[in-house]
Amino acid sequence: KQEVTQIPAALSVPEGENLVLNCSFTDSAIYNLQWFRQDPGKGLTSLLLIQSSQREQTSGRLNASLDKSSGRSTLYIAASQPGDSATYLCAVYSGGGADGLTFGKGTHLIIQP
Amino acid sequence: DAMVIQNPRYQVTQFGKPVTLSCSQTLNHNVMYWYQQKSSQAPKLLFHYYDKDFNNEADTPDNFQSRRPNTSFCFLDIRSPGLGDAAMYLCATSSLAGDGEQFFGPGTRLTVL
């Protein structure tokens, strides 16, 4: 059974810092990996999708990498801003059909002004 | 804009009183999912539809049922809500003809009194 772990569970940094969020998964036979953002009491916003054949994806100040063989992904946030404060969730898609995502519990990120 | 819509955004029900949550999509995706997210926990897949084919996760309680009358709509029925069913319920869609990315609605926050 696939398990996803995110470290750290919480992180507080001053504005402007570059930071890295970590995600690991137990079964490397994945189809893709998604990073989501969740604001308090809200739904999920997709940030980046990495296919199993890709090594990284970039969107603005966000860069996600994938090392499928070691079961790891990182989300790099450059020049953090207070508006980046949210919970960041990593999820893997292991099925070849219509199976759902397996999520980590997330990293709760606070950017101090 | 194409999107996933959930209604209501907030639902309050009484212990044991049936409740129905609604999800609609304009993406014309053939797969729809329902996830349950309890406070500070990872979203957990309840079930999904591939077109009209229903797939129930093994550990989804019998108290939860779902209907998909057409491609655009999917409903989550909770027959006798208990206090432990209070959670955020997230609807998502994906296209098997696409890259596997899942698109989420804003969620319905269910409170059980």
Residue B1 has pLDDT above 90, yes or no: no
**Distance from C-alpha of B68 to C-alpha of B75, rounded to nearest angstrom:** 6
Average pLDDT over residues A64-93: 96
Residue A97 has pLDDT above 60, yes or no: no
| Contact criterion met (CB < 8 Å) for B104 and A105 | no
Report the chain A residue with the minimal C-alpha distance to residue B53.
A98
Tell me the two tokens of residue B14: 């009484």
The 3-state DSSP composition of chain A as helix, strand, coil percent (nearest 5) reads 5, 55, 40
Strand partners, B87: B110
Does A97 reach chain B within 8 Å, measured CB to CB?
yes
Query: B108 or B49: which carries more pLDDT confidence?
Result: B108
| Contact criterion met (CB < 8 Å) for A100 and B35 | yes
Band (B72; pLDDT cuts 50, 70, 90):
very high
Q: Map tokens 């916003």 to a residue.
A: A45
Q: What is the pLDDT of residue B57?
A: 82
Measure CA of the first residue to CA of the last residue in chain B; give whole Å. Answer: 36
- Among A45, A46, A69, A49, which Cα is nearest to A57's? A49
Residue A45 has pLDDT above 60, yes or no: yes
Average pLDDT over residues B52-81: 90
Report the chain B residue with the minimal C-alpha distance to residue A32.
B100
Q: What is the largest CA-CA distance in chain B?
A: 42
Band (B100; pLDDT cuts 50, 70, 90):
confident
Give the closest-approach CA distance of B53 to chain A in angstroms: 10
Residue B98 has pLDDT above 80, yes or no: no
Residues above pLDDT 70, as percent of chain A? 97
Measure CA of the first residue to CA of the last residue in chain A; give whole Å. Answer: 41
Band (A98; pLDDT cuts 50, 70, 90):
low
Does A99 reach chain B within 8 Å, measured CB to CB?
yes
Exposure class string for B46-81: b at 16+ Cβ within 10 A, else e: bbbbbeeeebeeeebeeebbbebeebbebbbebeeb
Residue A86 has pLDDT above 60, yes or no: yes
Q: Best interface-test mutation with B: which of A30, A35, A101, A102 has the largest number of B CBs within 10 A? A: A101
- Among A26, A33, A42, A25, which Cα is nearest to A87's? A42
Residue B2 has pLDDT above 70, yes or no: no
